[in-house]
Chain A
Amino acid sequence: MVARGLTKRFGELTAVDAIDFDVHTGEVFGFLGPNGAGKTSTMRMIGAVSPLTGGTLQVLDRDPATDGAEIRARLGVVPQENTVDEELSVTDNLYIYGRYFGMPRAQVRRRIPELLEFAQLTDRADDKVTVLSGGMKRRLVIARALINTPSMVLLDEPTTGLDPQARHLVWDRLHELTRQGVTLLLTTHYMDEAEQLCDRLVVMSDATIVAEGSPRELIATYAGREVLEVRFPPGHRYAGWTGLDGIGSRREVLADRVIIYGDDAEQLTSAVTHSGVEVASMLVRRASLEDVFLRLTGRRLIE
């Protein structure tokens, strides 16, 4: 998949502003960014449901403007919302969707049990969707996206709104897909999700791509190795910010804490202790994509 100068405008608003990226067969490629960064608009253009305003796009070696139906026939799409018919059974939802692809009835019926097993919903086959938990519905939507055995699957925020257990189950299923050689494109505003799943990702902010690479490359380039988070007692915040100047390679001042970047956390900790600044707590952790995002945009992902 190749995008060059990909642009989407809605009237005055530019949702996607001339972005370039490539996705290789078999990889997991992520779009990381806060809500409103242009991730979903990008996905909808790739999914051949939303026409480009500008630039060029090749999906599965075809042009969405002219070969939309052919592209959609080979894609799996997991939309942000669980657009399943709540009044119908799990099986009926899968059956109707399979028929939309023009698959023969017998083939759809054969495929459904395989998908239910993959999604761990076998014992829910005849239940109405309404009674399923959020995690089950999400797995149903993922299973549905696989009915046509797609070579590429688009997932728009696959685990937003799920509890940790349900998220891990979804991640596990997605790992299984990549083992089968399926190319995955996903959007997320969760750093841990991007780190868990993505081989490569782009960081999006305000309709543009601000960085690109593997999670490790991005962290090494933009955040460094280790991080010290310092919190202050009430009323001492300003003194805290200014007193820590010069410690570490870089500092980010947030509303509730200061984040100090460096290569050796022990050194950072002792520097803070010796600075005489009154602190409430200190926390050492590994640098993450959140730090990358903070560095690149000056904002946090989830505000």
Chain B
Amino acid sequence: MTGALRVLEGQLVAYRRTWRGSVITTFINPVLFLSAMGLGLGSLVDRGARLGSLSYLAFYASGLLAAQAMQTGVGDAAFPVMAGFKWSKTYHTALATPIAIRDLVFGHATFILLRVTLAAVAFALVAAIFGAFAVTAALTAVPVVVLCGLAYALPVMAFTASREHESALIAVFRFGLVPMFLLSGTFFPLDQLPGWLQAMATLVPLWHAIELVRALTLDAASALPWAAHVGYLTLWLVVGALLAPRMFRRRLVA
């Protein structure tokens, strides 16, 4: 495990160079999205009163909290991992030292965990300032959000390791991330979708995370028992954690 911590330290040293930009984005993005969509678009939605007593801002913010973790998780598991294999080749460099393949995988996953946590806390604070929900409620949702981020990150790390060319990653964003972002209940309740799409959405980890976050922040009843939602997210995480070291090995050790 100490190997993974050394890999993490390396990532943090590298992150020192870019953290300012990324921290600003971490705070500015929630402000922009919550202003435009939560307040601006929300003022129109609330007039329709389809969400009952719930404000659109609260509904949207709780969904986006989880969706943002998915985006961070996928983003950090795609191009930065490809860079380790192909561009900066930091993985090849590390393997000439006592660092093992599992250290590379779990060191990077820990780095993603920190990034998702930071982004989630920042989002929770901003959303609380906007009045979307109480800050304490939002912070209790952070562990769920982090679980969501890693449930995406580890399988995507495995996938990235299995692809020679980065065009596959662009496809993941285009045909995976964007539809999931739009159709898993972030922007509107799932019952607005045709039945078959609803059924598909329940397979998407993001939907499970959003159900949990809404239950925690808005006291909404979740569609399934908690354990089912958590279990489903954990399943993706575990499958990813088992696959990623294998795919890394196949790529790095010939």
Contacts and interface: CB of A to CB of B under 8 A. Distances in A.
B89 A83 contact: yes
B14 interface: yes
A15 to B, nearest CB: 10
Nearest to A88: B14
Contact of B14 (A70, A75, A85, A102): A85
B50 interface: no
A79 B96 CA distance: 9
B81 to A, nearest CB: 15
B253 A100 contact: no
Nearest to B14: A88
A84 B2 CA distance: 23
Contact of A79 (B14, B92, B97, B253): B92
Interface residues of A, number: 28
Given A85-B14, A85-B88, A97 B98 contact: no
B254 A10 contact: yes
A96 interface: yes
B89 A49 contact: no
Interface centre among B13, B17, B96 (most CB of A within 10 A): B96
Contacts of B88: 83, 85-87
A101 B98 contact: yes
Contacts of A31: none
Interface centre among B6, B7, B98, B253 (most CB of A within 10 A): B98
Contact of A100 (B14, B89, B99): B99
Nearest to A96: B10
Nearest to A10: B254
A102 B2 contact: yes
B94 interface: yes
Secondary structure at the B interface, as helix, strand, loop or mixed, is helix
B2 A49 contact: no
Contacts of B7: 100
A47 B96 contact: yes
A10 to B, nearest CB: 6
Nearest to A72: B98
Interface in A64-85: 69-70, 72-73, 75, 77, 79, 81, 83-85
B95 interface: yes
B93 interface: yes
A99 B92 contact: no
B9 interface: yes
B253 A50 contact: yes
Contacts of B96: 47, 49, 72, 75, 77, 79
A87 B17 contact: yes
B140 interface: no
A192 B96 CA distance: 28
B90 interface: yes
A261 interface: no
Contact of A49 (B13, B17, B95): B95
Contacts of A10: 254
B100 interface: yes
B254 to A, nearest CB: 6
Contacts of A95: 13
A51 interface: yes
Contacts of A99: 6, 9-10
Interface in B52-105: 88-90, 92-100
A252 interface: no
A92 interface: yes
A84 B90 CA distance: 7
A72 B97 contact: yes
A65 to B, nearest CB: 12
A47 B93 CA distance: 12
Interface string A6-50: 000010000000000000000000000000000000000001011
A95 B6 CA distance: 11
Contact of A96 (B13, B95, B252, B254): B13
**Pairs A-B, 9 closest by C-beta atoms:** A100-B97, A77-B96, A96-B10, A83-B89, A69-B98, A83-B93, A73-B98, A99-B6, A85-B88
Interface of B: 2, 6-7, 9-10, 13-14, 17, 88-90, 92-100, 252-254
Given A79-B92, A99-B10, 16 more contacts: A10-B254, A49-B96, A69-B98, A72-B98, A73-B98, A81-B89, A83-B89, A83-B92, A85-B14, A85-B90, A95-B13, A96-B13, A100-B6, A100-B97, A101-B97, A102-B6
10 contacts: A69-B98, A75-B96, A85-B90, A88-B14, A96-B13, A96-B14, A99-B6, A99-B9, A100-B97, A101-B97
